[in-house]
Copies of this chain bind each other. A is one copy, B any other.
Amino acid sequence: MKNAENGTRLIVAASDIDADMLYATKFWAGDPFIFLEQNGKRTIVLSDLEMDRGRRTAKVDEFVSFNQLEREVQGKAKQAPPYEKVLAHFLSKRGVKSAFVPANFQLGYARELAKNDVDLAMTNGLFWPEREAKTDAELKLIGRALRITETGLARAMEVLKASKPAGRKLRWSGKTLTSEMLRAEIDSAMLRAGGTPTNTIVAGGDQACDPHERGFGPLYANSLIILDIFPRDTKTGYWGDMTRTVVRGQANDAQRKLWEAVKEGQELALREIRAGIDGMKIHKAIQALFKKRGYPTEVRKGKNVGFFHGTGHGLGLEIHEYPRLQKVTLKDRQVLTVEPGLYYPGLGGVRHEDVVVVTTTGCKILSRFPKQLEI
Chain A interface (Cβ < 8 Å from any Cβ of B): 16-17, 28-31, 48-50, 52-53, 79-80, 101, 103-111, 120, 122, 180, 184, 187-188, 191-192, 194, 196-199, 210-213, 303-304, 308-309, 319-320, 327
Residues of B near A320 (CB, < 8 A) are: 30-31
Query: A122: which of B31, B50, B104, B108 is its contact (CB, 8 Å)?
Result: B108
Residues of B near A52 (CB, < 8 A) are: 210, 213, 303
Residues of B near A31 (CB, < 8 A) are: 320
Q: Are A49 and B309 in contact (CB under 8 A)?
A: yes
Shortest CB-to-CB span from A83 to chain B, Å, is: 10
Q: Are A49 and B110 in contact (CB under 8 A)?
A: no
Q: Are A80 and B327 in contact (CB under 8 A)?
A: yes
Q: A106-B106, A107-B107, A184-B191 are in contact. List 9 more A-B contacts (CB 8 A).
A: A49-B309, A50-B212, A52-B210, A80-B327, A105-B107, A106-B107, A191-B191, A196-B197, A196-B198
Q: Are A212 and B122 in contact (CB under 8 A)?
A: no
Q: Are A30 and B319 in contact (CB under 8 A)?
A: yes
Q: Are B103 and A106 in contact (CB under 8 A)?
A: yes
Shortest CB-to-CB span from A31 to chain B, Å, is: 7
Most chain B CB neighbours (cut-off 10 Å) among A31, A192, A319 = A192
Shortest CB-to-CB span from A58 to chain B, Å, is: 13
Contact A104/B103 with A210-B53, A319-B30, A327-B80 known, Cβ cut-off 8 Å: no
CA distance A198 to B16 in the complex (A): 10
Residues of B near A210 (CB, < 8 A) are: 52-53
Contact A106/B108 with A49-B211, A197-B191 known, Cβ cut-off 8 Å: no
Contacts A/B (CB < 8 Å), 8 sampled: A16-B199, A28-B199, A80-B327, A105-B106, A106-B106, A180-B194, A184-B191, A188-B192
Most chain B CB neighbours (cut-off 10 Å) among A29, A188, A198 = A188
Q: Are A111 and B106 in contact (CB under 8 A)?
A: no
Residues of B near A53 (CB, < 8 A) are: 210, 212-213
Contact A110/B110 with A49-B309, A187-B191, A199-B30 known, Cβ cut-off 8 Å: yes
CA distance A197 to B188 in the complex (A): 11
- 3 closest Cβ contacts across the A-B interface? A103-B108, A188-B188, A105-B107
Most chain B CB neighbours (cut-off 10 Å) among A79, A194, A212, A213 = A212
CA distance A101 to B17 in the complex (A): 20
Most chain B CB neighbours (cut-off 10 Å) among A191, A197, A210, A304 = A191
Query: A308: which of B30, B48, B104 is its contact (CB, 8 Å)?
Result: B48
CA distance A309 to B211 in the complex (A): 44
Give the nearest-CB partner of A31 in chain B: B320
CA distance A52 to B28 in the complex (A): 35
Query: A103: which of B28, B107, B308 is its contact (CB, 8 Å)?
Result: B107
